Amino acid sequence: MNMLNISRYNSFCPEQKILEQVLLFPGDDMAVSVKNGKISFTGRSAMRFIAQQNLQAIADRSLRRDRLRFTPATLPRIFAHTDSAAIASLEYLDKIKEQIGPTAWRLLGDNVKASAACTKLGYFNYAGMNRAEDVQENFKSAMLQYGKPFNSFTSFSAANDSGIVLSNYSIEYIYQKYLADSCVFRHKKFNIHEFYLYTLTNFKGEIREQLMTHLFITKRNSPEFNVADIIGALAYVKDNNLHSVLDKIRATNTVGAIAPTFTLLDKNNRPINLIDFRGKLIMLDFWFTGCGACKDMAPRMLYLEKKYAEKPIVFITICVDRKREQWLATLNTNEYTSPLSVNLYTEGKGQTHSVMRDFDVRGFPTFILIDKEGRFCPKPVLEVEEMSRLIDRYL
């Protein structure tokens, strides 16, 4: 069995949220079509895919109903709505069990249960993480008022005894459950190394490999990132694809490792090579038009560009916009970049350009500092004072 990503159909019907993944079995026979902004499935295996559309519709209705201000007082109500939607989904699956088969019924049911738990955990952690103790206590009291655990469906398990993952949401469920139990409830901040040790000692097999990979992907730009942990994780991760991902993160986070080089075009179509700036400190800034966090960082980067205007440092922005015209129009606004930067473009290839893979860019904005000899520096923190201290250290 496998999961097919069909998010490419979003370009046909952007006004409608559709399935991002569908459950596939060997031998499936199905046709997919999009008409009038709606996606439909036909063929011998269609019922399983129609079921997944209907499950998503139930979840969407619950989300629309729960668009209210999240406070301790509303937490029991939001959680009750979440459970209600999950129960409705499970009842629907029971009605069509014979049509979709027992394996799909079990897998989709596990997804429903895990998704409900993740939704509640996500609400709780978003509101409670890194907040004052009195605020956290209010949310903990609300949890007692709710009177149920985050996982209201005790039949759900994230993995079997061999460590095989049982749900698409298993990794997220374990991660969010850890945040609630070990951070919010204990008034502690999340610590990468402690979670790494937690996964190492409490899990095995496939789920441990995925948990470790999830951890280092999501926290790869954190100032707490420790390369020693990822080196340790590589010894346990046997899956070739996951091992490759972790090894790339290790390479781009190893201080002193040689940074990859590249050649990109500037707004005048002149080729600019990273080697051209050898002997200078280089700050890379990856961004795209419409990125709110990128736009927020622009004034701070301009401040640094002016502060170090007479120093041997160059600020290079790399835009992943698909259309060159859009990139040029955005450059002219100076809302994301400045004329003091060397502004480059991924030539319409967006995030598929090799520079994105070579530098392991998975989010925006991403900043990377390279020293005068072309070696990686520690990852910059997205604060002006911290960036300035890091720059001063390597000038």
Q: Which helix (H) or strand (E) holds 305?
A: helix 292-307
Shared domain for 17 and 132, answered yes or no, is yes
Q: What is the pLDDT of residue 272?
A: 94
Distance in angstroms (rounded) separating the CA atoms of residues 266 and 296: 23
Number of domains comprising the chain: 2
DSSP of 202-254: H--HHHHHHHHHHHHHHTTT-TT--HHHHHHHHTT---HHHHHHHHHHHHHHS
Judge whether 242 lies within some domain.
Answer: no
Judge whether 389 lies within some domain.
Answer: yes
Q: What is the pLDDT of residue 15?
A: 31
Judge whether 289 lies within some domain.
Answer: yes
Judge whether 207 lies within some domain.
Answer: no
Asked if 174 and 125 count as a contact pair (C-beta separation under 8 A), the reply is no
pTM tops 0.75, yes or no = no
Lookup result for tokens 């990859």:
260
Q: What is the pLDDT of residue 185?
A: 86
Among the candidates 157, 175, 208, a domain finishes at: 157
φ, ψ of residue 160 to 5 degrees: the values are -85, -175
Shared domain for 148 and 8, answered yes or no, is yes
Nearest to 214 by CA among 169, 254, 159: 169
Shared domain for 16 and 153, answered yes or no, is yes
Shared domain for 13 and 146, answered yes or no, is yes
DSSP of 114-150: HHHHHHHHHHHHHHHTT--HHHHHHHHHHHHHH-S-S
Coil, strand or helix at 162: coil
Judge whether 244 lies within some domain.
Answer: no
Distance in angstroms (rounded) separating the CA atoms of residues 138 and 331: 46
Lookup result for tokens 């049982």:
166
Among the candidates 157, 178, 206, a domain finishes at: 157
Asked if 153 and 116 count as a contact pair (C-beta separation under 8 A), the reply is yes
Judge whether 163 lies within some domain.
Answer: no
Question: Residues near 395 by Cβ (< 8 Å), separated by ≥ 6?
Answer: 281, 308, 311, 312, 313
What string of pLDDT tens digits covers the 395 residues of the chain? 344 333 322 232 333 333 445 677 777 777 778 777 777 778 777 888 888 888 888 887 776 665 556 677 777 888 888 889 999 999 999 999 999 999 899 989 988 998 899 988 888 888 777 777 787 788 878 777 776 788 888 778 888 999 999 888 899 999 999 999 999 888 888 999 999 999 999 999 999 999 999 999 888 877 788 889 999 999 999 999 999 989 988 888 888 889 999 999 999 999 999 999 999 999 999 999 999 999 999 999 999 999 999 999 999 999 999 999 999 999 999 999 999 999 999 998 988 899 998 998 888 999 999 999 999 998 888 888 999 999 999 99
CATH classification of the domain holding 316: 3.40.30.10
Asked if 30 and 51 count as a contact pair (C-beta separation under 8 A), the reply is no
Q: What is the pLDDT of residue 66?
A: 56
- Please give the residue range of the domain that contains residue 335: 263-394
Q: What is the pLDDT of residue 22?
A: 63
Q: Count CB-CB contacts under 10 A for residue 84.
A: 14
Q: Is 269 exposed, middle or buried (0-12, 13-18, 19+ CB in 10 A)?
A: exposed
Asked if 370 and 281 count as a contact pair (C-beta separation under 8 A), the reply is yes
Q: What is the pLDDT of residue 34?
A: 79
Judge whether 328 lies within some domain.
Answer: yes
Judge whether 299 lies within some domain.
Answer: yes
Among the candidates 131, 157, 183, a domain finishes at: 157
Shared domain for 12 and 127, answered yes or no, is yes
